[in-house]
Structure 1
Amino acid sequence: MVSPSPHVIHARFQPYIRLVFSALLLSTGLTNAIAQTPDAQEVAQTLPNVVILATGGTIAGTGASSTTTVGYTSATVGVDKLIAAVPELKKVANVKGEQVFQIASESMTNDHWLKLAKRVNILLARPDVDGIVITHGTDTIEETAYFLDLTVKSRKPVVIVGAMRPSTALSADGPINLYNAVLLAGSKEAIGKGVLVTLNDQINAAREVTKTNTSTTDTFKSPELGMLGYIQGSKPYFYRQSTRKNTLDTEFDITNLDVLPKVDIVYGYADMNSVALDAQVAAGAKGIIHAGVGDGSIAAQMKEPLIAARKKGVIIVRASRVGQGIVARNGEASDDALDFVVSDTLNAQKARILLMLALTKTNNTKEIQRMFYTY
């Protein structure tokens, strides 16, 4: 038998050789592609690290049915379930959760604020934490936000978020609000902007935002001064920022504080009397916020009781129940002569917070007035 020549062998097996060669090329290409595709760990390393501190509220609430949007039970869903309900969070941040409290926010106290602020400061001091999200009931969300705005000692983002509908409701707003909050807390755009509040795709400053409607999802607004920006298409857009000092630039340190000075609010109305004021002073109030009518006006029958309280060492701050505008010093009262303080543009509930913190530093009304014009 005559053996075929090498050329004949080559011709006979050429199609197979080409097939094997192609397979080798494909295999090499796939290997290279796999090598170039980032794995989950590599992706995680590029995402910001955000800690969610849960405190309860409607965002963690449940109703009797999917159409229950009032009369529901707040603060029933834990932080792990809140996070699990929004799997899209994994695309924008490495998220960890802590259940700090589980309460309806109308039950928020000074003790809660101190504990929360201290925990936020501890977390933000860590290099592996890039931002904080706090889930919160909407009733006092503006107060907690402003307290943190004055006591957080970091420029890293702190974002407070809530919901107007419980987690079980049709079109519940909690999941998208939480997603936006985590996105914002992990963003470079939010660094140095102070404590932020986000609901309804809007970004507001802690100092200026307030709840304006009992039940609608667009309740949070910053009257007159306006919101800071929007969240759209998974990106924050800022158009302005608050000019008042906050966070790292404040003079308040709550590290070793266990109790805040007692400050109460007296609400102005026609035919008001001093019963509430007298009781609050007798109970040991160190400061009184007088939420007067109009430009913080003081009724004739309230002037002497307020003067008497001041003589006892109680700091009197004139605020307004109106909700917008500057309370003019020496406008509706002779503040210099009476040794009173005015709240500037702060509403009564936020003026109370600033006065409590101011009283941890001084009892001098001139210094306290400086603080109201600074923060």
Structure 2
Amino acid sequence: MKNPCIRVLATGGTIAGKAGSATRHAYVPGQIGIDDLLAAAAALDMGAALSGVQIANIGSEDIGPAVWAPLHAAIMAAIGDSAVDGIVVTHGTDTVEETALLLDLTLPTAKPVVMVGAMRPADAVGSDGLRNLANAVRVAGNPDAAGRGVLVVMGDRVFAARDVRKVRTRGTDAFRGFPRESIGLVTPSALDWFGAPWRTGDAARFDWPREWPEVPILPIWAGIEPEYVGRLTGPDTRGVVVAGVGEGNMPDPLRQPLRELVARGVAVVRASRIDEGLVDREPEDDANGFLAARALNPPKARILLQLLLASGVSDRAAMQAEFDRR
């Protein structure tokens, strides 16, 4: 059987980072280029033909629309290339869940797209980068990966973009899925799925946005005053995601300035700052005009809200239906 051809698109992150010492804690992400990364991968005999493109070489805390646009274009080109069987994106772990959801919502499911990173730089004791890359290549080369949306591979687990989130700052077991846990287990030599593909043959759910609507995240803390809403928002604000306490809760005085924003046409989404926070609609949401983020955490809820606004969706029922399906 012919080895799968995998296109590796590199954006930097810890998987391309170096500390200059095997035991130093501090390191600099994005120090290893795609050619050197593929040379190291070639020595592992991954059972795949790899080709690479350097999109960026930065820490993922610096990733945003300026990198997302060429990354999306490169993935679309690889999907349209008959010689490419699957795509792997190397990415820093800090914002990989946001990029993963964005791509999941704006790409067709014709070929596997797998994101991967590392928790330890390449020259650290116990570095996990090459193992994670080998795992990602195995997943991207598996035809059954194509109908599952964008995937994230970390710590021998396969996560769906809709569920994945970073939950730890240390250790290689730093990712979890919510509300659905991992959807597969992978090693460099084996791959086991926990269920059948659920998006086989799907088109992209959203077009790539021509603009990025201004959508700030409003964090809630004990003692926050209503005036903070005005400090965070301005005339160009088109949406607000509330990172609420508990099940998307907020102090009652904050609701009035948020209701005033809704009256001006600004979309307001209640999410939760809790790691496993499921936010259902509450009876007051209809009167307030608020949306409920359901299982999406605040950064992911922001991505979906931006895509909805950029697509011209303003009907609250239609917007809520998009949050409900995640």
Q: TM-score per shorter chain, which class?
A: over 0.9
SS at match of 1:259: coil
CA distance in 2 between partners of 1:224 and 1:311 (Å) = 32
Residue 257 of structure 2 is matched in structure 1 by: 305
* Mapped partners of 2:197, 2:324: distance in 1: 13
Choose which of 14, 18, 42 in structure 2 pairs with 1:62. 18
Q: Which of 315, 322, 326 is the matching residue for 1:364?
A: 315
Shift of 1:338: 1.3
Q: Which residue of 2 is the match for residue 48 of structure 1?
A: 4
Structure 2 match to 1:348:
298
2:324 is aligned to 373
Q: Contact 1:177/1:201 (CA < 8 Å) preserved in 2?
A: yes
Alignment deviations for residues 130-176 of structure 1 (CA, whole Å, 9 cap, x no partner): 11000000000111111111011233100000000001111110011
Cα shift at 1:88: 4.6
| Worse-superposed segment, 232-241 or 302-311 | 232-241
1:127 pairs with one of 47, 72, 82: 82
Most deviating of 79-88 and 286-295:
79-88
* Residue pair 2:292, 2:320 contacting (<8 A) in 1 also: yes
- Shift, 1:276, TM fit: 4.3
**CA root-mean-square deviation:** 1.9
- Gapped regions of structure 2 (runs ≥ 5): none
Deviations 1:74-117 (A, max 9, x none): 11110111111122555421100100011100011123223212
Relative distance call for 1:372 and 1:224 in structure 2 (3 A) is closer
| Equivalent residues of 1:50, 1:130 under 8 A apart | yes
Structure 2 partner of 1:259: 211
Q: Of the candidates 131, 148, 151, which is equivalent to residue 196 of structure 1? A: 151
Matched length: 325
1:317 paired to 2:269 = yes
Could you tell me which amino acid in structure 2 is paired with residue 162 of structure 1? G
Matches within 5 A, 1:1-40: none
1:219 and 1:234 map into 2 onto residues whose CA distance is: 22
In 2, the alpha carbon distance for the partners of 1:191 and 1:144 equals 18
Q: Distance in 1 between matches of 2:59 and 2:251?
A: 35
Structure 1 portions without partners, runs of 5+: 1-42
1:217-271 Cα deviation digits (max 9, x unpaired): 100111452111111361211113686x6993443011xx342211110111111
- The 8 Å contact of residues 179 and 295 in structure 2, kept in 1 or not, is answered as no
Please, what TM-score do these two structures have when normalized by structure 1? 0.82
Give how far 1:277 is off.
Answer: 2.6
Contact 1:55 1:100 in 2 (8 A): yes
Q: Residue 278 of structure 2 is aligned with which of 326, 346, 350?
A: 326
Could you say if the C-alpha distance between residues 97 and 89 of structure 1 is closer, same or farther in structure 2, counting changes exceeding 3 Å? farther
Distance in structure 2 (CA, Å) of the matches to 1:232 and 1:123:
25
Residue in 2 that maps onto 1:10: none
Kindly indicate whether the alpha-carbon contact (under 8 Å) linking 1:157 and 1:191 is maintained by their aligned counterparts in 2: yes
Deviation of 1:177 (Å): 0.6
The 1:290–1:172 alpha-carbon spacing in structure 2 relative to 1, beyond 3 Å, is: same
SS in 2 for 1:204: strand
Q: C-alpha distance in 1, partners of 2:99/2:227? A: 29
Change (3 A) 1:65 1:158: same
Structure 1 residues 275 and 114: alpha-carbon distance in aligned structure 2, compared to 1, 3 A threshold: farther
What is the one-letter code of the residue matched to 1:352?
Answer: R
Deviation (angstroms), 1:63: 0.3
Measure, in 2, the Cα distance between the counterparts of 1:373 and 1:328: 9
Identity rate, percent = 38
Partners of 2:76 and 2:130 in 1: CA distance = 26
Higher Rg: 1
Q: Measure, in 2, the Cα distance between the counterparts of 1:228 and 1:132.
A: 18
Residue in structure 2 matching 1:236, options 191, 199, 202: 191
Name the SS for the 1:133 alignment partner: strand
Structure 1 Cα separation of the partners of residues 210 and 234 of structure 2 = 23
The partner residue of 2:289 within 320, 339, 342 is 339
Contact 1:205-1:242 at 8 Å conserved across structures: no
| Alpha-carbon distance in structure 1 between the residues aligned to 2:31 and 2:187 | 30
The whole-number CA distance in structure 2 between the counterparts of 1:169 and 1:354 is 36
Shift of 1:321: 1.0
Aligned with 2:275: secondary structure?
coil
What is the aligned partner in structure 1 of residue 123 from structure 2? Answer: 168
**Residue 215 of structure 1, CA deviation:** 1.5
